Structure 1
Amino acid sequence: MKQFFTFIYLFYFLLSYSSVFAQTEERKTLQATRINSAPKIDGVLDDSIWKSLPTYGNFFMYEPGNEGIIPNNFKSEVKLAYDDRAVYVAAYLYDPEPEKIANQFSQRDEIDVQADNFAIALNTYNDGINETYFYVTSTGTIGDAKGNQGSLDFSYDVVFEAKVSKDDKGWYAEYKIPYNTLRFPEIETQNWSVNFLRRIIRRNETHSWNLIENDKGNPSQYNGLLTGVTNIDPPVRLTFFPFAQGLISNFDGETETSFSAGMDIKYGLSDSFTLDATLIPDFGQAAFDNVELNLGPFEQTFNEQRQFFTEGVELFNRGNIFFSRRIGGRPSGSITNQTETEIIIENPEKVNLINAIKISGRTEGELGVGFLNAITEKTTATLLDTISNIKRNIVLEPLSNYNVFVLDQQFNGNSSISLVNTNVTRDGSFRDANTSAFVFNVADKGNRFRTSGRAIMSNVNTSEGLISGFGSEIDIQRIKGNFRYRIGHDFANTTFNINDLGVNLINNYNDFVVGMSYENFEPTKYFNKYRFTATARHQRLYQPSVQTGNSLLLESFFVMRDRFAFGLDLEINSKFQDYFEPRVPGRFVTFNKNKGIGGFVSSDYRKKFAYDVRANYSYFEDEDQDGFELSISPRYRFSNRILMIFETAYFKRKNNFGYINRTDTNIFFGQRDITEVENTITTTYNFDPYKAIDLRFRNFWSTADYSDSIFYTLNPNGSLQNVAYDTEESNPNRNFNIWNLDLSFRWRFAPGSVATLLYRNQIFQQDERATLGYRESLVNLFKEAQQNTLSLRITYFIDYNNIGQVFNKNS
């Protein structure tokens, strides 16, 4: 607790130097107009209502720099109206050569393609922090994202309409943004802000309606004022997303079929707060995880793929103590007391999710409140006694309850403090866990300095009693101007553990970091952007207080005027004492000094053929150990509808050594050659912005080869001593090969409604034949049993208000 109070005192000391933030002085104002008759959303701006509304234009340069004047023949103009159901926007995007407008097709949220786009950045709280982006590309692809302090979360999905059209003067966009997609306070006169952004691909420019000073602050702090929205009577915010899924799977000659159905619900508890629920969820079409051969001491973690846990979770991610993959992940228990005559009949690798809800929103006083609850089912393993033929079940995970609660107070248009709590309750003789965090992100009036960090208390209740831990991070940085710098400190004691509903791979550290950077914010004769960064780290244990290592990282990044990008980096590491590789508390192994150099090049994606190449080389002093990595990723756009991206990556580490086994008296290490080859292919054919065929392929092969038969035992001082090791008893050689292929047809057949037909092919092999080459291993892989799966999932969007209208018409 002493560390916690010290941390809080330091925070308030720094906060005392913060002052009220004032947004840019010259803010434009847009007066919204109430209308009685809504326009038809077809992208053709010929509705009489648009002719009667005022026009707002005079856009500014935003990227690659604020300098420069936008030519009149590339001017942009917007009009905005509203009624009791929605906000309507018309955008006039003039172009003197409309035949040269970039027009690559894509699907929802894929707005970072070779197509011009237009975005509405709408902030219904005018707080300089939270806003929602609504995109449409020149080919009609829509996208939406939640913005927060400069970052965009495209996992956010709501139902809105946007259509485009073109003529000899340019292209046009027409929007309808229903109120059930927005959250705003229940007041008579709304205090909103807005900005509009236009991206012109061939000119490599982005224009903004209100000036965004790109050398300080975040884009959300530069919105113009949106006035005139009064007395709006929004509809009931209740929407349903029922789904049905059918699946047929074949593995090793056995065929299984299944059918499932469920529903996601969104309900506006108030104008500011929304309830999301998933009932009887089925995530069978979630994307593959990029599984690799894991030789290290830490678990592999993967990004969340399930839509319920990726959409609208920005509040729950405050402080980074919530990792949703824990919900419905591996069981917390394991099989124990297995007798010699028992065999395992069933041993589930994951726990099924029964249902989940989340409530989130923000008050008029900028207080964000979030609550998430999920329940997973009881999970058991089954053992069979081969003598008595009696089966018995072992509970791996009881009925379990997961909770996350967040309070996030934002202020001054650029700062926030948060309190976050996660809790796991397992109904049985299992561990329970509770974690609390105080999180802050505070900037001063002029956006010159930012102080951010977190203080975390972890509590794990096991059969052996309560174990409490503490961890903290603090970072102070200059965030304005060409030259910037930062200092930071990271700390965790020996009992810090948030892994029941979060991720911390290590604890027991007391690290310091300093960094500095220089970058340009206006284009030069040759470069649109360049940046130089230096970061130095000093790493220590907390107990005992000993140095574990030092490192220096130098990085550079350049983007030329023709969008050719390249960079170089150099890393220098001192002798390092690794306290985690031995897998025994208090023991460490020493790694020698090492250096690494790397770089990348990336060509202009506007061309049909483009490529990315990255290479890295590292070597260790006083030993014959080095590593080389190369990845090459060419891409070819056959037309505006077809894009293929191929990536091949090769990694080789020679004479590396690492942990292989241990006994009561010895910890064994072995010298190995590690080889990795990864090939991926991504191909998409877009019929239009609503339908596409996707091919996703990945093959990952890796070996750990101990054929030199050089083995060691670990000495107490961290050095290694040669020893004879019996590989017959425990063979450390590994040959790992995995193949995943997805072929799908996506059809967004109505707003919010999607049908997906997916064919999936999976093969996996892991054995001890580490001397095989890639081709031989691939031949052997295809001798393994393959799993082939065909599934069809249909999700349909239902708006309660539309149901009400149907019943009213019928009556």
Structure 2
Amino acid sequence: MKKYYLLPLIVLFCYTNLWAQDSIKKINAIRINTPPKIDAVLDDDCWKNVPPAKDFTQLRPNNGKRASYPTEVKIVYDDKAIYIAAMLYDNHSDSIMKQYTPRDGYGSSDMFGLFIDPFNNGINTFGFLVTPVNVQVDVKGQENGPEDTNWDAVWKSKTQIVDNGWIVEYKIPYSALRFPKKNIQKWGLNIIRTIERFREKSTWSFIDLTKQGWITQQGELNGIENISPPLRLSFTPYVSAYVENNEESSSWTNFYRGGLDLKYGINESYTLDMMLVPDFGQIQSDDVELNLSPFEVFYDEKRQFFTEGTELFERADIFYSRRIGRTPNNFWEMEDELGENEEITKNPSVTQLINATKVSGRSPKGLAVGFLNGMTLNTYATIKNTETNIERKEITQPFTNYNVLVFDKNLKNNSYASIINTNLSRFEDKYYANVTGTELSLYNKKKTYQLFAKGAVSQIWDNSSKPELGFYSQFVFSKSSGQFRFSVRNRIENDKFNPNDMGFLRNNNEINSSANFSYNIYKPFWRLLSMYNHLSIGYSQLYKQKKYTDSYISFNSNMTFKNHFSWGFYIGLAPYEFHDYFEARVDGRLYIEPASQRVYTWASTDYRKKLALNIELGTKLPNNYDSKGFTIELEPRYRPNDRLLFTISTEFDNNISDIGYVDMTDDEETIYFGRRDRISIENTINSRYIFNENMSANLRLRHYWSTVKYNKFYTLNTDGTLSDENDYNEANDINFNYFTIDLSFRWIFAPGSELSLVWKNSIFSDSDEIVDSYLDNLQKTLDSPQTNSISLRVLYYLDYMYFKGISKRN
């Protein structure tokens, strides 16, 4: 067996480069004595005689062709900052698209951006972008992952539209960057420009879409010498005030909070981020849905501390940040703790996070270190005796400590090797969960092939001397560049692997094998601008019992026409029965679902228009149980002017004669399934108005309604088939509603400083009486008890170097 495992490695490392590396584009920055005034006028003496970066090449739609209009960019620097001046020529400046968006928002707008890689290692880059109306977007790009728009820096920009195009001027202080401490700097650089009315994106250093990676195709910025990394130290204190009422009481309560976010640059590579007494009361409401599956629902992280600069912690897929400050472990068990004449008067749905600390960064030699710690207080439910009015407290989760530690080493050809550990401790319960994972990515010299591997081992101590040990492994070999690409994948999870104290895994005990093939066309042909095609096949079985579970084959295609209309479709086939070992909720019990077929299609109109539309249609074809369904989703977008945007999304999902778990007897011998008609309707309204680049208002209203009507019941046989059940007659119909409003006003009144006013409203209702009319159901929902929260928060950014400069001047 060893020789077969070594074969991919032999192929990978014996692959040689057949031709020389493409030439790297370079530009020099010029040192100045007097900094320019950031006003987008460009009449300062420092801009004279500076050689510009020019000759941009299209990234899209005509990858490799010259940009439609010239762009010239000049770069100068002094001991405190680098300065950028850009002239973006346009023969029709009155047609420049300039939609206003909130900070860090992409819209239907032209854009200019600078991406700086101070260590010039092709791994991470800092992006500073602006629109013609000076809306700032700052991102942290990574070669092996998505852009992080949650990263925020404090920098200065100004823009101006003129007769022959538009002008950009920047000041990026060195405190916004991390760079090595050496006399002569050599930074990676790329510059990007978007002309939205052409849907054209061009770059200074050409990015070939047929090649793997985009940061590694950057140019070089030279000429910066004798600068020192400044002390990166900032404080962002906040104070917030809340007025709330909930469904349990008609009276309003008010309270105040205060805390601090501290950022400290330990050295040029690593940064400490500490949050004391955090406040997450203003984050957007989750899109809660009715869950009838045996698995937990995954919700995206929205707390900025856990989204900014956390790409390192994603290694090996064992960390899910929403576990920190989660719903208490015993939250749902409090009903069982009630005695006679007792009721629950208070039961917090989240644990109180008292502080969180994060250290992250990468050294000049390519070693990245990440450390994250969070602590939550004891959480209690309050139970009251209705006769004596005596209250008692029951702990729902004791003090809990969360730790994550990761090391990541950059290797040749943008390869890397990582090791990560997560550790949870609940000392009072004597409960400890430890998971250690590793991830490895190896590319050949031309980055045309990749070997990717990851795995983890989990250990849980729960009042026992022996830990419960589990593991998973995954191997992928792929062709990662060119028009034709492929990958083969194998993943194994044993039946004991459990990372869910600090990670997220729906189920374990499985072996999955799959192969994926894609053929993409990046350049215009016929009536198309681009086309992407993808074919997948897969096979799964249980790890422990080595029994078949399911197989599939799917094909999808996406294409964009030259009029910027996009269309795509998906065909998915499960040619054989699905052997489901989880739906029954009893270990070892099987439910056999017949073979199925699904077809989807979608379309999107041109977003440059004031009115655009996204549409999706899908169907599940009838199977042997006559289960079928269809879904329709419509999302019109209307932009009356450059400041106002409306987006309305309506999704209708109808599953007819769906088969699923209902109930079981106490001894778990008899398991009941039901045939049900399930209809879900989700309506979401988003509206935003942008007053200027620093002030915006946003409204998000969502109503989710799901009904489940049971028509027939069955008992599950030991062979996975179903038998008619005539004696079971429990009421299991469901009428589920979740309604939320998020209304916010945000004002960036100073660099890095913000005032926010937020109103949040939520209504939840759940019954076994189905309402047939949508309007009647909506009215009944609005009449249900609701929770309201109105909050005002002010945070102020304090930079040490700024106050040091004032002190020196004084």
Q: TM exceeds 0.5?
A: yes
Moved more, 312-321 or 369-378: 312-321
Q: Which residue of 2 aligns with 1:698?
A: 702
Deviation at 1:211, TM superposition (A): 1.5
Deviation at 1:743, TM superposition (A): 1.8
- Partners of 1:249 and 1:8 lie apart in 2 by 60
1:204 and 2:199 correspond: yes
Q: Secondary structure at the match of 1:696?
A: strand
1:315 and 2:315 correspond: no
1:457 and 2:467 correspond: no
Answer yes or no: is the 8 Å Cα contact 1:101–1:202 preserved in 2.
Answer: yes
Any residues of structure 2 matched to 1:610-649 within 5 Å, and which? 610-649=612-651
Cα offsets for 1:625-647 (capped at 9, x unmatched): 10110000111110011111111
Indicate how the Cα distance of structure 1 residues 518 and 259 shifts in structure 2: closer, same or farther if over 3 A, else same: same
Q: Which residue of 1 aligns with 2:25?
A: 28
Q: Which residue of 2 aligns with 1:270?
A: 267
TM-score (norm 1): 0.95
1:360 and 2:357 correspond: no
Answer yes or no: is the 8 Å Cα contact 2:471–2:493 preserved in 1.
Answer: yes
Q: Which residue of 2 aligns with 1:416?
A: 416
Q: Secondary structure at the match of 1:365?
A: coil
Indicate how the Cα distance of structure 1 residues 183 and 449 shifts in structure 2: closer, same or farther if over 3 A, else same: same
Answer yes or no: is the 8 Å Cα contact 1:21–1:412 preserved in 2.
Answer: no
Deviation at 1:692, TM superposition (A): 1.2
- Partners of 1:583 and 1:318 lie apart in 2 by 31
Cα offsets for 1:737-786 (capped at 9, x unmatched): 11111222111111111111112222221111135332221121122123
Deviation at 1:69, TM superposition (A): 2.9
Return the match for 2:581 from 579, 582, 591.
Answer: 579
Any residues of structure 2 matched to 1:29-68 within 5 Å, and which? 29-68=26-65
Cα offsets for 1:545-584 (capped at 9, x unmatched): 0111110111011101111000011110121011111111
- Partners of 1:97 and 1:265 lie apart in 2 by 46
- Partners of 2:770 and 2:18 lie apart in 1 by 60
Please tell me the residue identity of whatever aligns with 1:231: N
1:287 and 2:284 correspond: yes
TM-score (norm 2): 0.95
Q: Secondary structure at the match of 2:678?
A: strand
Q: Secondary structure at the match of 1:152?
A: coil
- Partners of 2:779 and 2:7 lie apart in 1 by 61
Any residues of structure 2 matched to 1:101-112 within 5 Å, and which? 101-111=96-106
Any residues of structure 2 matched to 1:530-541 within 5 Å, and which? 530-541=531-542
Answer yes or no: is the 8 Å Cα contact 1:24–1:221 preserved in 2.
Answer: no
- Partners of 1:234 and 1:264 lie apart in 2 by 22
Answer yes or no: is the 8 Å Cα contact 1:604–1:610 preserved in 2.
Answer: yes
Q: Which residue of 2 aligns with 1:154?
A: 149
Deviation at 1:595, TM superposition (A): 0.5
Answer yes or no: is the 8 Å Cα contact 2:194–2:200 preserved in 1.
Answer: yes
- Partners of 2:453 and 2:114 lie apart in 1 by 31
Deviation at 1:724, TM superposition (A): 2.8
- What's the % identity of the aligned pairs? 36
Q: Which residue of 2 aligns with 1:77?
A: 72
Q: Which residue of 1 aligns with 2:555?
A: 554
| Ranges in structure 2 where 5+ consecutive residues have no aligned partner | none
Answer yes or no: is the 8 Å Cα contact 1:530–1:557 preserved in 2.
Answer: yes
- Partners of 1:359 and 1:105 lie apart in 2 by 34
1:100 and 2:98 correspond: no
Deviation at 1:84, TM superposition (A): 1.8
Cα offsets for 1:143-202 (capped at 9, x unmatched): 111111262111111112221112111001111111111112222222311010111111
Return the match for 1:259 from 247, 250, 256.
Answer: 256
| Root-mean-square deviation (Å) | 2.1
Deviation at 1:389, TM superposition (A): 6.2
Deviation at 1:414, TM superposition (A): 2.1
Answer yes or no: is the 8 Å Cα contact 2:672–2:716 preserved in 1.
Answer: yes
- Partners of 1:23 and 1:581 lie apart in 2 by 56
Cα offsets for 1:426-458 (capped at 9, x unmatched): 121242111111101221111211122311111
Answer yes or no: is the 8 Å Cα contact 2:441–2:451 preserved in 1.
Answer: yes
Indicate how the Cα distance of structure 1 residues 687 and 344 shifts in structure 2: closer, same or farther if over 3 A, else same: closer
- Partners of 1:648 and 1:21 lie apart in 2 by 53
Answer yes or no: is the 8 Å Cα contact 1:23–1:221 preserved in 2.
Answer: no
Indicate how the Cα distance of structure 1 residues 437 and 23 shifts in structure 2: closer, same or farther if over 3 A, else same: farther
Answer yes or no: is the 8 Å Cα contact 2:650–2:684 preserved in 1.
Answer: yes
- Partners of 1:22 and 1:754 lie apart in 2 by 53
Q: Secondary structure at the match of 2:467?
A: strand
Answer yes or no: is the 8 Å Cα contact 2:130–2:136 preserved in 1.
Answer: yes
Deviation at 1:258, TM superposition (A): 1.2
Please tell me the residue identity of whatever aligns with 1:552: I
Q: Secondary structure at the match of 2:119?
A: coil
- Partners of 2:338 and 2:291 lie apart in 1 by 29
Indicate how the Cα distance of structure 1 residues 759 and 6 shifts in structure 2: closer, same or farther if over 3 A, else same: farther
Deviation at 1:348, TM superposition (A): 2.3
Cα offsets for 1:266-294 (capped at 9, x unmatched): 11111111000111111110111000011
Q: Secondary structure at the match of 2:804?
A: helix
- Partners of 2:558 and 2:338 lie apart in 1 by 60
Any residues of structure 2 matched to 1:426-437 within 5 Å, and which? 426-437=426-437
Please tell me the residue identity of whatever aligns with 1:519: N
Please tell me the residue identity of whatever aligns with 1:542: Y
Please tell me the residue identity of whatever aligns with 1:620: P
Indicate how the Cα distance of structure 1 residues 748 and 388 shifts in structure 2: closer, same or farther if over 3 A, else same: closer
Q: Which residue of 1 aligns with 2:442?
A: 442
Q: Secondary structure at the match of 1:586?
A: coil
- Partners of 1:19 and 1:515 lie apart in 2 by 25
Please tell me the residue identity of whatever aligns with 2:688: T
Deviation at 1:480, TM superposition (A): 1.7
Answer yes or no: is the 8 Å Cα contact 1:593–1:620 preserved in 2.
Answer: no
Query: Size of the alignment, in residue pairs?
Result: 800
Indicate how the Cα distance of structure 1 residues 684 and 387 shifts in structure 2: closer, same or farther if over 3 A, else same: closer
- Partners of 1:21 and 1:275 lie apart in 2 by 44
Any residues of structure 2 matched to 1:106-145 within 5 Å, and which? 106-111=101-106, 113-145=107-139
Any residues of structure 2 matched to 1:628-777 within 5 Å, and which? 628-663=630-665, 664=667, 665-706=669-710, 708=711, 710-728=712-730, 731-777=731-777
Deviation at 1:788, TM superposition (A): 2.6
Deviation at 1:90, TM superposition (A): 1.1
Return the match for 1:599 from 598, 601, 625.
Answer: 601
- Partners of 2:199 and 2:113 lie apart in 1 by 16
Please tell me the residue identity of whatever aligns with 2:460: V
Return the match for 1:326 from 323, 326, 332.
Answer: 323
- Partners of 1:423 and 1:77 lie apart in 2 by 51
Q: Secondary structure at the match of 2:97?
A: coil
- Partners of 2:438 and 2:633 lie apart in 1 by 40
Q: Which residue of 2 aligns with 1:565?
A: 566
- Partners of 2:802 and 2:662 lie apart in 1 by 63
- Partners of 2:116 and 2:4 lie apart in 1 by 36
Q: Which residue of 2 aligns with 1:374?
A: 374
Cα offsets for 1:459-498 (capped at 9, x unmatched): 1111244101001112111112211111101110000000
- Partners of 1:19 and 1:245 lie apart in 2 by 60
